Amino acid sequence: MKRRAMSLKTLAMACGLFVASNAVLASETLNVGGTELPASLGNPYAAISVTPGSILGSIYDGLTQIDADGQLKPALALSWENDGDRRWVFTLRPNVTFQNGALLTAENVAANINDLVKPENRGYPIATEMASIESARALDETSVEVFTRYPDPMLAKRFSLFRVVDFDLWSEIGPDEYGRAPIGTGPFQLSSWNQGGAISFTAFKPSWRDSGDFSNLRIFTLKDSIARTQSLIAGQIDLALGLTPEDAPLIERQGMSVKIHYGNQVMALGLPNALNSDSPLNDQRVRQAINYAVNRTAIVDYILGGMFPLATQGATPANVGHNPDITPYLYDPKRAQTLLTEAGYPDGFEIIIEVLVGMGPSDSLIYQQVAQDLSQVGITVDLRTTTYPERTRKYFSGDWGEVDGFSILWNNAPYNDTGRALKDFSCLKSNPFFCDEGLSDRIAASNREMNPDVRAAELRAIMAEMQTLAPTINLIEYGSVLGYSDRIENVQIRPVGIAYELIEVAK
């Protein structure tokens, strides 16, 4: 492929990548090729996805954390207990300090929580996760009591996404200024948002999380996977994120390692029924027809090289609520044509689908393949790309403009629980794009059920109903491809991003 024959010198100039000197590549510095900056820089409340999570997760801590194996673990809270209803008590880790020297206290944590749940802060993505919380208060120096508005079985998991700030400083300088110079309790402290073309960090040695082998962390924002691959091969970076399956053989031929991360999420295209009253997508038969028209097997085999499994539903087997008895939509264009005719669209129709690209393995090619498959049954797709900040705005405001459908994840990963994603595909979501009143009531009830066995059974039943409603084209069990040099080892990925502090110099 000619693009891959581009010289490394030309590539580095095109990307604006700072060619590292021997000093920069010294053993104390970890150099990473990432994809993009968080939309709101270091504001921890404004982003919860993996892309900004790798950066924010190095600066901040939650009360809990979910490890690379999906297990709930202590973080700023050493333990927690629930009374079986609405009351929780979190016991904090003692003697934790912020990167400005301030001491973490129960009062500080309670103030963080109470501020986030104020009405004026409901626009933050993390506020959606914390919507069940009524109030919090310090019981003593290391204990925080939290009351929820209703029973919430996922609360301890939710706090893995809740990044704690020095609330006194936050209140003094405001969110925007705090985001430009973030202060957390994590293992790395921000030095600069743009130093030699990279986001630069230094190790915060007093952190309760040991920063490990590296005193410095630099993340270059390289939006092209080719640039990240070539920079890795050239020795300019140690770790390349967001690669494609076709990058893997090239990296392995250089004696470097490739890691496939299975994120326990489902890559999908949303088929809204609550945006446009005249949309053909409002008809369940049309949504089912679209699902039959897409050849997922071809996507997995020919675009992804078999690296990722096709999705059978909006959950993976690792998620609570995954239903193994669901019958997936198999490729059947004749069945699709029949359903379109029954729905009154024998000649098809035109739709606009808006997608984010560069976020997952070969996603641009996947979306193009979907558009091509739909064209075979008469559905003409105007495929448009958007930016992460613009997508975030539309998703939370509900202002989708003329867009008919869009790329989306069944993002069960942070909790490995379908209850999280199901809410987003229902009337329960603020500014919903898909709504079925009866099923929304059941989703709400399942997310208040404190008996885990009863709850899991109900979630499986709901997922079966969702399969019939077809609010999405479920494409693949989503993940990512990473490449790294033989200089490092122990690369681990949590649901919210790379655990940079665990990466070690190879022995």
Residue stretches of the chain with pLDDT short of 50: 1-26
Q: How many domains, in total, are found in the chain?
A: 3
| Residues linked to residue 219 through DSSP beta bridges, in sequence order | 32, 199
Q: Are residues 231 and 352 in the same domain?
A: no
Whether 263 contacts 479, CB under 8 Å: yes
By residue range, what is the domain housing residue 450?
A: 263-479
Kindly state whether residue 178 falls inside one of the protein's structural domains. no
Q: Are residues 197 and 283 in the same domain?
A: no
Kindly state whether residue 242 falls inside one of the protein's structural domains. yes
Q: Are residues 412 and 374 in the same domain?
A: yes
Kindly state whether residue 180 falls inside one of the protein's structural domains. no
Whether 190 contacts 199, CB under 8 Å: yes
Nearest to 324, CA basis, from 315, 336, 333: 315
Kindly state whether residue 349 falls inside one of the protein's structural domains. yes
Q: Are residues 268 and 251 in the same domain?
A: no
Using only the alpha carbons of the chain, give its radius of gyration: 23
Q: What is the pLDDT of residue 236?
A: 95
Q: Among 133, 168, 203, which residue terminates a domain?
A: 168
pTM summary value: 0.82
Q: What is the pLDDT of residue 49?
A: 67
Look up the CATH number of the domain holding residue 19. Answer: 3.40.190.10
Kindly state whether residue 90 falls inside one of the protein's structural domains. yes
Residue that is written with structure tokens 């993976």 in the block? 316
Q: Are residues 109 and 197 in the same domain?
A: no
Please name the residues in contact with 188: beta carbons below 8 A apart, sequence gap of 6 or more. 58, 59, 201, 202, 203, 204, 211, 217, 500, 501
Residue that is written with structure tokens 């892309």 in the block? 51
Q: What is the pLDDT of residue 478?
A: 84
Q: Are residues 381 and 434 in the same domain?
A: yes
Phi, psi of 289 (to 5 degrees): -60, -45
Q: Are residues 9 and 93 in the same domain?
A: no
In the three-class reduction of DSSP (H, G, I as helix; E, B as strand; rest coil), residue 7 is classed as coil
Kindly state whether residue 52 falls inside one of the protein's structural domains. no
Kindly state whether residue 175 falls inside one of the protein's structural domains. no
Q: Are residues 391 and 290 in the same domain?
A: yes
Look up the CATH number of the domain holding residue 336. Answer: 3.10.105.10
Q: Are residues 132 and 249 in the same domain?
A: no
Look up the CATH number of the domain holding residue 73. Answer: 3.90.76.10
Q: Among 141, 168, 195, which residue terminates a domain?
A: 168
Helix (H) or strand (E) holding 455, with range, is helix 452-469
Kindly state whether residue 24 falls inside one of the protein's structural domains. yes
Q: Are residues 252 and 268 in the same domain?
A: no
Q: Are residues 190 and 98 in the same domain?
A: no
Q: Among 109, 138, 168, which residue terminates a domain?
A: 168
The separation between CA 184 and the C-alpha centre of its own chain, rounded to angstroms, equals 21
Q: Are residues 493 and 430 in the same domain?
A: no
Q: What is the pLDDT of residue 5?
A: 36
CA atoms of 250 and 240, how far apart (whole Å): 13
